[in-house]
Homo-oligomer: A and B are copies of this chain.
């Protein structure tokens, strides 16, 4: 049984690579999907495909239409969603993805530094598990496959 994991959250650090490597070193039957991690490409994809837009807001609107489609397709293919919040960015789209997952009945693992607990308390209560780092994410994923 192979599981597909959607990795939602910030694209400014290499946390996805860490999870993939750890999972691989443990031979876990996991496939990972997620958003476009190249920030510039993610922001420019709207204009690149749809042409120049009237202003920055419409450029964002165009980009997010394509990024949302990607997220919707890949999340529907996933068995578990991992959502990571970092200290620097607002990441309302991560909260949006995490909440969509829970509402669709997809299990959610929330990752956040301890100091972000207060603003994330409601989402934390909706998540299946809340952890503080990617090591713990891999331990949770690994546990699903353990026999004894």
Please judge, given known A-B contacts A45-B143, A49-B140, A99-B96, whether A121 and B64 are in contact too, CB under 8 Å.
yes
Main secondary structure of the interface of A (DSSP, over half): helix
- Complex CA distance for A139 and B97, rounded to whole angstroms: 23
Residue among B69, B91, B128, B146 making CB contact with A129, cutoff 8 Å: B69
Quick check: is A26 within 8 A (CB to CB) of the other chain? no
Interface residues of A (CB under 8 A from B): 1, 3-4, 31, 33, 36-38, 41, 45, 48-50, 54-58, 60-61, 63-74, 76-77, 79-80, 85, 89-93, 95-100, 102-105, 107, 109, 114, 117-126, 128-129, 131, 136, 139-140, 143-144, 146-148
